[in-house]
Every structure is written in C-alpha cells, then in structure tokens.
Structure 1
C-alpha cells in the first residue's frame, strides 16, 4: 500500500457509522480520492478534528492509498493555507458549500491535474481574502469550464445570441438552447470579467440569479452527471 504525501482540497464529507467520516478530496498528486477517517466524530483532544474536513479546506496530508479499493486512509494531516474568513462569513460559507458541491459533481479524474489544482487553490484563497465577493461564484463557474473542456467560444461575440449546447455565439433564434436579449447581454458581461477586475462587475440581484441559472443550464448540457446543487437555494437566498 503506497504512502503518498500531497496537498488536498476537501470537497465533501459524509458521516459513516457513529464516529467516522468518508471524506472526498481533490489531491494534487493523484486527483480525486476518498478517505475513511475513523473516530473523528468522537470527542477527544488532539489528533484529527472535524474542522479539518469542512468544504474547500486546503490540507497537507500523508495517506495510505489502497491499490485494491476506493477508500484510503490518512496517516498525517495539517491545514495548509488556513482560511481567515470563509467559515465566519455566512455569504462566503454559502458560496463554499455551493462550489464544493459543484466541483465534487464535475471532477471525476483520479490522476494529477496541476493546472486545475492550482486554479482551485488560488480561487479559494482569493475568496477568503476579499470582501466584495457577490459575483465570485459566477466567475469561478465560468473559468472552471476551461478545465472541463467547454469554455465558450468567443470568436463571434458581436452576435446577439449564445448557443448553450454548441458553446458559441450566434444569431438569436427559436432554438431552445440559444439565449438572447438581456440574458445574453449579462452573460457577455461575465465573459469580460476575471478575478482581477471582478470587483468592478455589477449585476442586480435578478441579473445575478439569471446568469447563475444560465451557467447551471450550460453545465447540465455539457456534463452528463450534472444535477442541480442542493445548496443552490441557500446560495440564492443569501443574495436576495
């Protein structure tokens, strides 16, 4: 059973029995991995803490990776890039739960992807360090598509419609997969934004929800297993 030392980002945790957790992480060295963390829910001093396994926590772990099964075990653990505000701020926490659910849903690869890992690490550290984060999740979801293989083709962006299934700009039509009008205008505005200029991006509450629904539809059309995140209602509620 090989012992692996790697950075890892927590995507989800599920109670197993009375005292244990099954924790899904995206690791820098070997992609998606699930760990059985025994006894972590017992009240005890020192050792593993439940707080280590909150969504998006960045960890440094030494783990036994089982070559014959899908559940692995953690030998050593420490928090890496400790967050200062995500778990204290209700809006940031809602974003964290939502994005961890989305990332857990769309990333399936059990192999290293340094570029994707760096994107996740940098994005969540950015979220923790900034105050104006109302549109962070929109920019994140858009940029994540470049690692999943369906970032929008912007070569004809002067056109007034966008084909969600084909992923390019087109003329408005009655095709159910083509967005146009204000929905397309706001989507274009998002395409002109990155984390560096995110604080200058302005949406009304209704526009923000519209763009989010556009992105979710886009994901559904391009990721077979994608489903509405359970945390979506909570996320929309905190921005009302």
Structure 2
C-alpha cells in the first residue's frame, strides 16, 4: 500500500556496500524499517544519505506491505530542515543520545499520533532555542508518559521515589527507593516545560547523576533497554 506520511528518523545502519537500513517513527504507522538501496553511492538520486541522520524530519511516500519485512521509500523530502541541530556540536550530541533512547524504547508498529506530535514538537523546539542544557533530561521524563511509566502519586512532602513502581511514597520499601538530590530534582522536572526547564540550575555532577538515574528508571521499565553508548559523550560536553 502506498502511504504518504510524516516520519522521524530514529536509526540507520549501512547494509552491504551502498544500502541503508533505516528505522523511522511514522505518523501513520508507528515504527517502520526501510531498505534504501544504493543511497551511499548515488549522487543524483532523489534520496540522499544525509536525509537519514538521527531525528531528521521527513515527508515521505512509501510502500508499506505490512508483512514484517523491510519497506521501501518512493519519495522523501526533508521538512523542515534543521537550522542548528546538525551543526551545533552540543545539540547534535543530544540528538544522537535521544535517537539511541528512542531506538531502544519504541517498538510498536502502530499509529500513536500523540507520541509523534510530542517528538516532532520537541525536536523543533531544540532546534530553535538557545537554553537547552536540561532539554534531554526533561525529554526523558516526558517520554516516560507515552511509554507507560510516568512518575505518579506526586506530592511534595513524600520523600522517597520508588523507581520500580514509578511513584513517590512515605517509606523505603525496596532497594530502588531513593531519597536524595535526584528524587528532589525529579519533583522539579515534573513541574516545568521546555521553556522553563533552564531555571533548574545543575552543575556537571548533578546533571550526570540525574541522567544516570533516568537511564536506570528506563532500564527497570523497558525490557532490553541498556545505557546508551553516546551518554559518555554527553557527560563530557555538559
């Protein structure tokens, strides 16, 4: 079936000499995998390898057989082109990290318009704004709501955050209950948006500890989720 839809590139890997296998999150059909033939050699074709960098936003026309095999693009157009996300080393490092997170976290091949809208609006915000040091932290907190484990039963007086159950509570009930700077920071991130997240002041150590806690949180709730390899680069840059 020929489908026209918006798509966000999540991951691409070289296949054979000149092909790419691309994973994209589509507005119409959720996660899809595509074989892009000859794109690493072609200089005149309609499809170019640069279109399939992590988090690129595309309008695509694709053949979806929906049989669990690799699909194929008929046409693809970058829309819109990022202004800073691919040229700013800090933003591109965030993009690489979040693409890794999404590659592991999203598995469903079904339409989820709300999730697609969240991803698209988030990446456009990152591209357009200057104060983004806490962006990836808030992004992961927000993403958890679409994956089914957003922190709940929040109350400012409850001291422990239970990473296993995803809730604040009065007592320490298992080894994944934390009462420290990270549990207090999470309370702050639950109350801000991208525009106000920069008001949360973090030094390198605090930011590193908080994101390590978020990675553990994802590991506990998503089967097979592992610490992204690009996280070490983020630690160095931020």
Q: Find out whether 1:126 has 2:125 as its counterpart.
A: yes
Unaligned runs of 5+ in 1: none
**What is the CA distance between 1:160 and its match in structure 2?**
1.2
Shift of 1:46: 4.4
Is 1:199 the counterpart of 2:230? The answer is no
Q: Which residue matches 1:209?
A: 208
CA distances 1:36-86 after superposition (whole Å, capped 9, x unpaired): 000000042342111100000000000011233420000011001210001
**Contact 2:5 2:59 survives alignment (8 Å):** yes
Q: Deviations over 1:86-138 (max 9, x none)?
A: 11000100000000110111111111100000000000000000111111000
The aligned runs of 1:11-30 (5 Å cut-off) are 11-30=10-29
Aligned CA distance change for structure 1 residues 58 and 34 (closer, same or farther; 3 Å): same
Q: Which residue does the alignment assign to 1:77?
A: 76
Q: Hey, what does 1:148 align to over in structure 2?
A: 147
| Whole-Å separation in 2 of the counterparts to 1:222 and 1:44 | 43
Following the alignment from structure 2 to structure 1, what is the Cα–Cα distance between the partners of residues 204 and 89? 17
Q: Which runs of 5+ in 2 are unaligned?
A: none
Q: Distance in 2 between matches of 1:181 and 1:16?
A: 46
Q: CA deviation at 1:206?
A: 0.8
Distance 1:172 1:182 in 2: 17
Structure 2 residue 67 is the aligned partner of structure 1 residue 68: yes
Counterpart in 2 of 1:3? 2
Kindly report structure 1 stretches of 4+ aligned residues shifted beyond 4 Å.
none
In structure 2, distance between residues paired with 1:73 and 1:94: 28
Give per-residue Cα distances to partners, 1:15-41, cap 9 Å, x unaligned: 001101000000000000000000000
TM-score when scaled to structure 1? 0.95
Question: How many positions carry a matched residue from both structures?
Answer: 238
| 2:232 equivalent in structure 1 | 233
TM-score when scaled to structure 2? 0.96
- CA–CA distance in 2 between the matches of 1:136 and 1:210? 15
Q: Distance in 1 between matches of 2:66 and 2:210?
A: 42
